[in-house]
Chains A and B, each alone.
Chain A
Amino acid sequence: MSELLQFLFSGVTVGAVYALVALGFTIIYNASDVVNFAQGEFVMLGGMATVFAHAAGLPLPLAALVAIVGTAAVGVALNRLAIEPARGAPVVSLIIITIGASIFIRGAAQLVFDKQIHTFPAFSGDDPIRILGATILPQSLWVIAGAVLVFVALWLFFTRTLLGRAVLATSNNRLAAQLVGINTNFVMTLSFALSAGIGALAGVLVTPITLTSYDVGLTLALKGFAAAMLGGMGNPKGALAGGLLLGLLEAMTAGYLSSQYKDAAAFVVILAVLFLMPQGLFGRKSTDRV
């Protein structure tokens, strides 16, 4: 029993990270139909920039803020320099551009930061909390709370605000969005900034648990992508559910099968979803009539 609970705790923690990455995917996908494979690098930048800003003498909260804002700026730059000039190219080309961008960012991080593994102190100490024989780190609670908070904020943004609907409208029909007065360039800028900021937040929250280095982004991007696909690309609810499910699946695989197969779980999920239900759990079917 306590064993199961322990796997559950670690699954939800990891799942919350995947959910945050998947939520980042959601925003850019909603605005542009592009799956941004550089999303994992935003997580890496969040963690690494906090480490270095903290080491340079900034207090931790300020260092985290600097990292998040800086990463958001990188997101905006990615849009301006790489995505916007290729406007009108097929979505597949844009996705390949994001893969190129992720390789570039990883390389640049290696030079700007270093190749070491880093961490910084957990926000509320390292004493595990005991619940029914299992333990959970206080930092895990931070990660889970972060994921839930971002989810609620995004859900409200897309369903309750006019600007959120303008983002959806821009992805659905950019021409029509301009005709009703939406500044579609601004929507794209906003999406990349938000998305990168959320990725960086995930990096800040998770680094005390998983540590960070210049190359953690790739795996996170793939896992987050699997989570987003599982939940249904473009839907914040799906991103949260998909992330948590994937995290649990991984923890159970690691616990009951073998930790060797942990990473395989995510990729089995991608394959199964693509074959059996490409819409994902919450994805909406597109209805078009011509």
Chain B
Amino acid sequence: MLTVEGLRSRYGRIEVLHGIDLHVDSGEIVTVVGANGAGKTTLLRCLSGVQPVTGGSITFRGEALTPVPAYKRLRRGLAQSPEGRQIFTNLTVEENLRLGAFLFSDDRVEKDMEDAFQMFPILKEKRNLAAGGLSGGQQQMLAMARALMGRPSCLLLDEPSMGLAPIVVQQIFDVVKGLKALNVTVLLVEQNAFGALKIADRGYVMETGHITMSGTAAELIADPRIREAYLGI
């Protein structure tokens, strides 16, 4: 579904992605784990089109994605829940969700919103409050729900567990796992390698702008190098 080949990107004169190769097949949950500063967020920013690509290619559902401007990528089926959540803080929870479905104005929008509220009941309680007043965990839920309102076939998730209490992290990972049943393919970028690998089918390890390892999630969890470097076991 999503194929990345030799992807390079730079901030000014400093190259941060030195040729990334990865692929995500339809229906999979794939995770990219790695330490802070490895380039994971830059990778996702390239995929959603808000970061210039300086080399390599991105192919999504058989089409080259690189020439497509960021605002048109959701129309192709690619949604992102970005780093730092990036919700519309001045707007209400409900307005945030409605804007997630900006491309649509049919009856399904209402239904999708009900589904989102079912997925995260706390958002229903707070639907008329300004999103900026939500807690970190609730903002993360809102960011994911808003991305899903765009009816993506593939969802890019950037560090959904960042800064959240373990119980909230668990809740969010459970929802990610459940996306499979909704036919949403997931590319999950995480520092929390263990949590991510537990729900993923396959994984990639990223270090300073390179993919250094890849395999099925089970293989990676069992690998002694991973266990030492990322899982703290």
Asked if A165 and B99 sit within 8 Å, CB to CB, the answer is yes
A182 and B89 contact, Cβ closer than 8 Å, known pairs A175-B50, A287-B132, A289-B135: no
- Which residue of the partner chain, among B74, B90, B134, contacts A181 with CB atoms under 8 Å? B74
Is B80's CB within 8 Å of the partner chain A?
A: yes
Residues B99 and A180 in contact, CB atoms below 8 Å apart? yes
Asked if B91 and A168 make an inter-chain contact with CB atoms under 8 angstroms apart, the answer reads yes
Known: A176-B88, A287-B132, A289-B132. 13 other contacts (CB 8 A): A162-B105, A169-B91, A175-B50, A175-B86, A179-B80, A180-B74, A180-B149, A181-B74, A181-B75, A184-B71, A287-B133, A289-B134, A289-B139
A259 at the B interface (CB under 8 A): no
Q: Which of B74, B79, B99, B146 has the most CB of A within 10 A?
A: B99
- List, in ascending order, chain A residues with CB within 8 A of B95's CB: 165
Q: List 23 A-B contacts (CB under 8 A).
A: A165-B95, A165-B98, A165-B99, A166-B102, A168-B91, A169-B99, A172-B89, A172-B90, A173-B88, A173-B89, A175-B86, A178-B71, A179-B70, A179-B82, A179-B86, A180-B74, A180-B100, A180-B102, A181-B75, A182-B102, A284-B90, A288-B132, A289-B136
Minimum CB–CB distance from B131 to chain A (whole Å) comes to 9
A183 contacts the other chain (Cβ, under 8 Å)?
yes
- Interface residues of A, CB < 8 Å — how many? 22
In A167-203, the 8 Å CB interface with B consists of: 168-169, 172-173, 175-184
Chain B residue contacts of A168, Cβ below 8 A: 88, 90-91
Q: Which residues of chain B come closer than 8 Å to A172, judged between CB atoms? A: 88-91
Cβ of B105: which chain A residues have Cβ within 8 Å of it? 162
A286 within 8 A of B: yes
> What is the distance, in angstroms, from B107's C-beta to the closest C-beta of chain A?
15
**Chain A 268-290 residues near chain B, CB threshold 8 A:** 284, 286-289
B87 and A173 contacting across the interface, CB-CB below 8 Å: yes
Give min CB distance, B74 to chain A, whole Å. 4
Smallest CB–CB gap between A26 and chain B, Å? 14
B150 within 8 A of A: yes
Asked if A181 and B132 make an inter-chain contact with CB atoms under 8 angstroms apart, the answer reads no
Q: How large is the interface on B (under 10, 10 to 19, 20 to 34, 35 or more residues)?
A: 35 or more
Q: What's the Cα separation between A162 and B96 when bound, in Å? A: 11
Chain A residues near B (Cβ < 8 Å):
162, 165-166, 168-169, 172-173, 175-184, 284, 286-289
Shortest Cβ distance from residue A11 to the other chain B in the assembled complex, whole angstroms: 33
A162 lies within 8 A of B86 (CB): no
When C-beta atoms are compared, the residue in chain A nearest to B81 turns out to be A179
Chain A contacts for B147, CB-based, 8 A: 179
5 closest A-B pairs by beta carbon, nearest first, are: A176-B86, A287-B132, A181-B74, A178-B70, A172-B88
* Residues in A whose Cβ lies below 8 Å from that of B231: none
**Is B229 interfacial (CB-CB < 8 Å)?**
no
Residue with the greatest number of chain B CB neighbours at <10 A, chosen from A168, A177, A289: A289
For B82, give its contact among A175, A184, A287 (CB under 8 Å): A175
Closest to B149 in A: A180
Kindly name the residue among A178, A180, A183 whose own CB sees the greatest number of chain B CB atoms within 10 A: A180
Indicate with 1 or 0, residue by residue over B133-147, a CB within 8 angstroms of chain A CB atoms.
111100100000011
Interface centre among B79, B98, B102, B134 (most CB of A within 10 A): B102
